[in-house]
Chains A and B, each alone.
Chain A
């Protein structure tokens, strides 16, 4: 059963409703990422779960209980902010002890738990520092410790690594994943960084326009995107619209594509790395005739922009420069590397 559940929720800022009839289920112990570009509603979703944004319509369930109107401070969820939001006037120790003091935990236990938590995030010995005297990475560790010391069942994270440099980001995401699994916390992680999100998550929800386009395991999303938006998001750049005619899928120029799918309109899609080029014009199933427009040297690979009657395609090949502009070529869609997505039909969460 889902631990966190948004049921047909509408929420936003004042009259600007960002989520409409939004649904998501998050299972216990999982780390689920909300991935999307800015304005897609991922942060709104997270803030709605935290209680920072009021639900206009619908229901938010936590462990089967209605939490829709539960005030923020009674939810008991950990929250990690993009800006860390440490208390600037308090030492590292007092920052981490803040939540425990609010719960009137006795002093010896506070000391014990804060010390243990700081050790866990690699910050023992920093107790008396002020946040201003620490680096970005250290501040983020304090922010994590501050949330985790309360042993929350749910940890909500809003782009926690976006203010760190690339090396630290990789280090910290491993750290976050380790802590989440060690402590058995259910986590929701908002990010716009695809690599970060795929490497850390049990499940990824790709969001667009206040909707979930697809929610699945990272591997599934990477290999089997269900629609064009998700496909583009994970690197499919070449699309051919095909329609079902007499039991076969045919492109506008008459090329036949083969698939088991049965929807009337589909889009065949392939990554630049997976398309193949053949010299000259050859017909056949899943092959399109074209002409080289631009050849770009990428270092490890050559990238060709190929013009066909179905549009322009990007093809990456091995680094030898085989083709020059204006050369006639055939673009092949390998059957095992070609996916078929529904044509322009968004799919909501399962």
Chain B
């Protein structure tokens, strides 16, 4: 009895520790004064209005959305064939290839961002946009390979051979058999990789220009300049988007699992 009470206290403390900052953020975002304080004073939606209308946030949102989307799509185009080869074939150095593809997770994103800034951006004529796309492709790739790879590890490749023996060339056979049967893995890989890219700060902080910066970077530069509840409102919106995407992927996977 005593033991379980201790457990309860610990659990509550952990929750406060985890959820507390978010609650403060949510509270602050509805504040009617410009000071970031908790508990909030009054109630207004003015900071949300500001978050939506601030030009740097608007541009940042569009930039983040496009570079994350393009990066994730590119990572899928690279990652799905890689996962396919790793799962289907036995070849020399397979473990090495596998480790190589997952290596971006071992390098801190900060280092990746710095490396891209110093060595890659100057060579491509200083295009920040392209630099971001490449950075997010790299960040997304391991997620794509791991998630689609584990979906493929449950796939019986003789199903693909069956399609071949029934008169289907190699590429259509892949799309008619492998893809439909790993669909749930593909969706969750896409959403995971996209959220990760969209919320990333480490790469965006290095690769930015006054005209082109990601939303998290725009938010960060605003914090440095001045501190008001606009940040809180934007953060709440980002949180909501993430929760929405996560729920969506759970739902989609749930439906697939029940079949």
Contact of B159 among A52, A75, A82, A85 (CB under 8 A): A85
Contact of A87 among B90, B91, B162, B164 (CB under 8 A): B162
- B90: shortest Cβ distance to chain A, in Å? 7
Contacting pair A88 B159 (CB below 8 A): yes
B150 proximal to A (CB < 8 A): no
A240 to B259, CA, bound (A): 62
Contacting pair B159 A73 (CB below 8 A): no
Contact of B166 among A52, A71, A82, A146 (CB under 8 A): A146
Measured between beta carbons, the chain B residues less than 8 angstroms from A87 are 159, 162-163, 177
A88 to B33, CA, bound (A): 59
A89 proximal to B (CB < 8 A): yes
Measured between beta carbons, the chain A residues less than 8 angstroms from B181 are 88-89
Contacting pair B158 A83 (CB below 8 A): yes
Measured between beta carbons, the chain B residues less than 8 angstroms from A85 are 156, 158-159, 161-162
Contact of A98 among B90, B158, B161, B166 (CB under 8 A): B166
Measured between beta carbons, the chain B residues less than 8 angstroms from A79 are 161-162, 165
Measured between beta carbons, the chain B residues less than 8 angstroms from A58 are none
**Contact residues of B between 149 and 172, Cβ < 8 Å to A:** 156, 158-159, 161-170, 172
Contacting pair A150 B156 (CB below 8 A): no
- B114: shortest Cβ distance to chain A, in Å? 41
Contacting pair B156 A73 (CB below 8 A): no
The answer to whether residues A52 and B156 also contact, given A89-B180, A102-B167 and a CB cut-off of 8 A, is no
The answer to whether residues A78 and B165 also contact, given A14-B90, A83-B156, A85-B156 and a CB cut-off of 8 A, is yes
Contacting pair B164 A72 (CB below 8 A): yes
Measured between beta carbons, the chain B residues less than 8 angstroms from A77 are 165
A328 proximal to B (CB < 8 A): no
The answer to whether residues A50 and B162 also contact, given A85-B156, A88-B181 and a CB cut-off of 8 A, is no
Measured between beta carbons, the chain B residues less than 8 angstroms from A147 are 165-166
Q: 1/0 per residue B170-194: CB within 8 Å of A? A: 1011000100110000000000000
Contacting pair B166 A102 (CB below 8 A): yes
The answer to whether residues A50 and B156 also contact, given A14-B90, A89-B180, A89-B181 and a CB cut-off of 8 A, is no
Query: Which secondary structure dominates chain A's binding surface?
Result: loop
A198 proximal to B (CB < 8 A): no
**Contact residues of A between 30 and 75, Cβ < 8 Å to B:** 50-52, 71-75
Contacting pair A81 B158 (CB below 8 A): yes
Contacting pair A86 B165 (CB below 8 A): no
A268 to B15, CA, bound (A): 83
A347 to B142, CA, bound (A): 54
Contact of B167 among A13, A52, A82, A99 (CB under 8 A): A99
Contacting pair A150 B158 (CB below 8 A): no
- B179: shortest Cβ distance to chain A, in Å? 10
A86 to B181, CA, bound (A): 12
- A45: shortest Cβ distance to chain B, in Å? 16
A76 to B180, CA, bound (A): 24
A167 proximal to B (CB < 8 A): no
A86 to B90, CA, bound (A): 24
- Closest residue on chain B to residue A47 by CB atoms: B161
A103 proximal to B (CB < 8 A): yes
- B85: shortest Cβ distance to chain A, in Å? 14
- For this complex, 10 residue pairs linking A to B, each with C-beta atoms less than 8 Å apart, are A52-B161, A73-B164, A73-B166, A82-B158, A83-B158, A85-B162, A86-B162, A98-B163, A99-B167, A103-B167
